[in-house]
Amino acid sequence: MKSAETPVTVEQIGAALAALGIYDDDNTPAEHAENAAPSAGVDAYRLRLLNTLLGAVQGQAKLADEVAGDSEELFVAWLEQIKAADAWDDAARQMAFLGWQVRRAGIPLYWIAKIPDAGPVVVSASHAAEALHVMLGVIAAVDEATATGDVETIAAQMGVVKAARELLVAAIDNADIMLDMVESAGS
């Protein structure tokens, strides 16, 4: 298995997409260079290709999860994902990976929540997702700091926990707004 520290090439990503039936072009270095030119460069192009692959794989994983249903089977499958992400034997890397997943899942919520008529439930979900992302970061930071005896880093996380708490309070406040709206409409 390729190390998670070594970036895959756009040709490798193209080959993976082709194997899934998603990529129909030539998958040559010249073609990728041409496709990268109009964007913000090769790194942005690589990011787009990786996210296309990620979306395809996540769609398939969602279908498989729905069939599995059993929480033990899902946990075993998740362990395989953690192994592939090279976070298998390191709790801090596991938490950082989970935090990345939560952040990625929350990105659409953050954008939708900015729309003036998005509503309090979307805003509440956005705050809750951000709080979870922040708290997973705290877990990762504390785990790493504990392993090295870094008391200052652990102490610094208390301010981050307070910020996460504020996000959770905002999530509850927005959920309460929605509940009040429903109660008012029913009266």
Extents of the domains making up the chain: 10-70, 90-186
Residues present in the chain in total: 187
pTM beyond 0.85, yes or no: no
pLDDT of residue 3: 59
Of residues 24 and 146, more confidence is placed in 146
| Helix pair 42-68, 10-19: axis angle to 10 deg | 30
List, for residues 42-63, the tens digit of each pLDDT value. Answer: 888 999 999 999 999 999 999 9
Nearest 5°: CA angle at 51, between 6 and 22? 105
List, for residues 28-42, the tens digit of each pLDDT value. Answer: 888 888 888 776 788
pLDDT of residue 150: 96
CB 121 within 8 A of CB 174: yes
- On average, the pLDDT of the chain sits at 90
pLDDT of residue 28: 85
Handedness of CA 174, 179, 182, 184 (dihedral sign): negative
CB 14 within 8 A of CB 24: no
Distances (CA, A) of 33 to 25, 30, 45: 13, 5, 9
pLDDT of residue 4: 60
Region 10-18: what's the mean pLDDT?
Answer: 93
Residue 24 has pLDDT above 90, yes or no: no
Of residues 177 and 34, more confidence is placed in 177
pLDDT of residue 39: 66
Q: Assign 28 to helix, strand or coil.
A: coil
pLDDT of residue 177: 95
Give dist(CA 2, CA 38) in Å, integer: 29
Q: Assign 4 to helix, strand or coil.
A: coil
pLDDT of residue 88: 87
